[in-house]
Structure 1
Amino acid sequence: MSLATLTRLALAGNRTDAARVALTALSAMLASLAGFAALTMLAIPRPPGDPWQQSEQYVSALLREPGLRGGTAFALVLLTIPVLALAGQSARLGAPARDRRLAALRLAGATPGQVTRVAMLETGLAGLVGTFVGLAGYLVGRSVLHRPDANGQLALPTDVLPPVPAMAIVVLGLPLLAAAATVVLLGRVATTPLGVVRRAGRTGSPRPWPALLIGLGVLAAAMVEPIQWALRGAAVEWLALVVLLGIFGAVMGVIFGTAWISHLAGRTLHRHARRPAALLAARRLTDDPWASSRTFAALLAALIIAGGAAAFRASFQLRAELEQEQNRLAGFGGDGSYDSFYLNTMDLVDLAVAVAVAIAATGLLVTLVEGIVSRRRTYAALVATGVPRATIGTSIAWQILAPVVPAVLIALGAGYAIGRLLTGDLSQDGRTPDVPLEQLAVQGAGAIVAVLVVIGLGLLFLRSATEVTELRAG
């Protein structure tokens, strides 16, 4: 099969396929923009002379101070986690119809390898379009936003350009990563001429072993300060790698652990629930508890970052209070510049977290609507036998809220623990900041409210998906 034929087959499909491709391209574009921004931060050259010399051509201290650029780039890289999770959720949109289309290709004589390459090419091309759009947007924005002020200073690092090989890795690496993920997803599906057969996947109930990943992530954060003290500030890159691996391990632990939470919630509902909606939700949770790990991946990743940001904000607040107290004891007042700088920086981080939660909510909506549409014949059969639509809607809400509430608490707790260990003590007497319960509560409540809004929007599709005519749908 020629490349032109593969491309034509990959681009074929209905409106659902077009929506899946568009969402995949959007996710790739957002991830590439975050990657280009991180590369730009790292490309800012150090000024000659003193190691503490600042780059005075920038307005923001985040850009002027060399020691702050690595952390900012690291935060931008973390922001790509919920975006990539959204890409994974978008790839599942319209999966049953796509599987039937691939089965038709097998019936027409295509080999299993050719069918897999068609699916890979669809995802890869969508990702490539997204990264090219992201690259074009980055270059245009760099030109448009290059506006020095009256003092000749820049608000953004528009005077530097990342190395071309690094940018090429972002442009080409993200589509390749998406295509490889497609191969992994299709590994459990055998596309035959007579239909799609899903191979045996996970059997048995989930185990709580992901808690070990969370513990390893917290342990990695706890070991940073002793390692830094032993190396006396050397090997900063290795310390950053330890922190990154620790956060990644905690994220994976919380995501995989949601399957165990879902299974436990399903068993609890099945044992104690008396109403049909809760019993339906209990059966769904115990039959496929790993669905929750896929559904809430982006949201939980964003909340781990939110918990860590809350720990850093509390640390900066205490640091400012200690500085003001020292200034008062010394007999002169501080101008509050330290306080406003770091707290304003955390405002930007909180804004980035809010954007990540919104992206995660979008992915959750995609997954919810896809689940309703793919099971429309089952839901229509229940309605035809007399089950009220309200009961089905309530069961869907139970199915989402039962695992997500404890998972949100665990994600915030893990993120706060990692952030608290990274900040350390702030005074000679070992004074530590108070736990920001109010901010953590606001973050958790905001996530739950976002989930409730998504449930409300998703259930709008329930009426059309439960019409009696859906019983004759293919």
Structure 2
Amino acid sequence: MRPLAVTLALAGGWGRAALVAGATALVSGLLLVAIAMARLWEQPAWTGDEWVLGAVRDPGTRPGAILGVLVLTLPLVLLLDQAVRLGTTARRRRFAALSVAGATRRDLRRWGAVEVGLPALLGGVLGVPVWWLLGRIHTLEGTTLVPTSVGPGPWAVVAILLTGAYGALVGIRLGSRVDLDVARRAGGDRPPRPWSALLIVLAPALLVVAGDSDPVSLAMVLLLVAGIAGLAPWTAYVVARAIASRTARPALLLAARRLQADPRPAGRAAASVGAVGLTAGVLAVFVPDVLATQTYDEGYYLGPALVAAVGAAVALVAIAVSLAVHLTESVLERRREMAALVATGVPMSVVSESQRLECLVSTVPLSVVGSALGGIGYAAWAGGDGLFVLPAVLVTGAACALACWLVSLVLRPWLLEALQPEHLRTT
């Protein structure tokens, strides 16, 4: 007989537990990398045969490198949020049945904490080998991306426990969402508001008030990333509403109406695409400036730029997976409505195309705004040339469109199965 904790942890299925553990393992591994970088202040960055990347070795640029690693955890944290949404319909029925059987709200929150917290804690432990593997990666110049002469030490326990605690917090929120989900589906939820735009406005204001310094620059980056990520649900809602009032294409109208009715899940799944756009825009100004002004130490600057570009690409993959999870849950939750559409004469190709268009509307506008904001803002701040900002905007938007096409292609078999007539049955 399995222990109750294990039974609760697997209540959503092995697949969801594995996805939660995988996402938290990557988050934990990146946290351990950031801790190891921070501990370089306790001893020299160079020991024996190790030579750490210049941006990490230099104490002046090290805070920026640490911040970059922490920002890279954002799409993974959002992926965790999407992973726990898998099986929402079944969970709602299960929690409703438990409530009828006498379970209180406190019981549901506690069981939700165990259901998500245990796989997250396991993922936190698996973050240790992730950190070790990242430490084995070298750049073309032979420098290591992660310091190996100093590790996270006892702080690793703190990182693991924090990862498990965050998973438990997400699970507690799951147990509290049952009535909220019902209210939203009844149309009682307000549209998202653009309050996080205040953070974007605050970023340049901080520069004017506090002056140009390394701490202020890092604070500006944090404000911009948080602001543009928070705008994702509102952006999806506004764009979907504008499209729905103008388009005559059935697939685009279907996608826009779905997003307009419930923009938050898709917005959360695509929230970090704005940070990817910011990175692309900054690199479009930074790299040409380095090539034009540096003559003998280009590698010192281009190495971190390459790492940032790879990190943005990895983040885009995580966003694509997050969107795939969201669309999978959307298909499973709305299979009866989708099957009804096909039964009334809507072609399957229209429903399939609407999934891809929903992904496009959620990601491309935010990526374009992010890359334009990053490129123009960095050019104005650093005095660089903004000649390559437009190509960066186009490339970022095209990369998001490609990711959406791949996601829709992977999910097509599940969608076609959900459109079959048998899903119209009520018993």
Please give the range of the TM-score, normalised by the shorter of the 2 chains. 0.7 to 0.9
Aligned to 1:66: 59
Letter in 1 for 2:176: G
CA distance in 1, matches of 2:236, 2:355: 13
Aligned to 1:167: 156
Aligned to 1:353: 312
Q: 1:109 to 1:67 in 2, by over 3 A?
A: same
Aligned to 1:415: 374
Aligned to 1:231: none
Aligned to 1:249: 223
- Within the candidate set 328, 349, 364, 1:405 is matched to 364
Aligned to 2:148: 158
CA distance in 2, matches of 1:285, 1:220: 34
1:348 offset after TM fit, Å? 1.7
- Within the candidate set 213, 238, 248, 2:199 is matched to 213
CA distance in 2, matches of 1:395, 1:155: 41
CA distance in 1, matches of 2:137, 2:325: 37
1:185 offset after TM fit, Å? 4.6
Q: 1:30, 1:134 within 8 Å by CA — same for their partners in 2?
A: yes
Aligned to 2:388: 436
Q: 1:414 to 1:298 in 2, by over 3 A?
A: same
1:31 offset after TM fit, Å? 0.7
Aligned to 1:379: 338
1:221 offset after TM fit, Å? 5.3
CA distance in 1, matches of 2:244, 2:252: 8
* CA deviation string 1:435-458 (max 9, x = no partner): 423344323321221122212222
Which is worse superposed, 96-105 or 258-267? 258-267
- Give the unaligned 5+ runs of structure 1: 49-53, 229-235, 325-335, 426-431
- Within the candidate set 1, 17, 22, 1:21 is matched to 17
- Within the candidate set 242, 245, 267, 1:271 is matched to 245
Aligned to 1:187: 176
Aligned to 1:428: none
- Within the candidate set 120, 125, 149, 2:118 is matched to 125
1:290 offset after TM fit, Å? 2.8
**Counterpart mapping for 1:196-211 below 5 A:** 197-198=182-183, 203-211=189-197
Letter in 1 for 2:22: L
2:401 is equivalent to residue 445 of structure 1: no
CA distance in 2, matches of 1:310, 1:67: 23
2:124 is equivalent to residue 135 of structure 1: no
Q: Secondary structure at the match of 1:44?
A: helix
Identity of aligned residues (%): 29
- Within the candidate set 268, 271, 274, 1:297 is matched to 271
Aligned to 2:298: 339
CA distance in 1, matches of 2:400, 2:204: 23
Instruction: Using structure 2 for the length normalisation, give the TM-score.
Output: 0.86
CA distance in 1, matches of 2:195, 2:41: 44
- Within the candidate set 85, 94, 106, 1:92 is matched to 85
Letter in 2 for 1:118: W
Q: 2:27, 2:73 within 8 Å by CA — same for their partners in 1?
A: yes
1:202 offset after TM fit, Å? 6.4
Letter in 2 for 1:406: P
Instruction: Using structure 1 for the length normalisation, give the TM-score.
Output: 0.78
CA distance in 2, matches of 1:220, 1:417: 18
CA distance in 1, matches of 2:232, 2:64: 29
- Give the unaligned 5+ runs of structure 2: none
Aligned to 1:258: 232
CA distance in 1, matches of 2:357, 2:340: 20
Q: 1:106 to 1:9 in 2, by over 3 A?
A: farther
Q: 1:186 to 1:220 in 2, by over 3 A?
A: farther
Q: 1:441 to 1:286 in 2, by over 3 A?
A: closer
CA distance in 2, matches of 1:260, 1:141: 36
Letter in 2 for 1:161: G
2:385 is equivalent to residue 471 of structure 1: no
Question: Size of the alignment, in residue pairs?
Answer: 419
CA distance in 1, matches of 2:120, 2:352: 34
2:35 is equivalent to residue 39 of structure 1: yes
* CA deviation string 1:85-115 (max 9, x = no partner): 1111111111111222222222333222111
1:188 offset after TM fit, Å? 3.8
1:421 offset after TM fit, Å? 5.8
Q: 1:32, 1:135 within 8 Å by CA — same for their partners in 2?
A: yes
Q: 1:273 to 1:136 in 2, by over 3 A?
A: closer
Q: 2:34, 2:70 within 8 Å by CA — same for their partners in 1?
A: yes
2:94 is equivalent to residue 101 of structure 1: yes
Q: 2:28, 2:124 within 8 Å by CA — same for their partners in 1?
A: yes
2:108 is equivalent to residue 115 of structure 1: yes
Letter in 2 for 1:273: T
- Within the candidate set 148, 165, 169, 1:176 is matched to 165
Q: Secondary structure at the match of 2:272?
A: helix
Q: 1:411 to 1:434 in 2, by over 3 A?
A: closer
* CA deviation string 1:119-144 (max 9, x = no partner): 111111111000111124435876xx
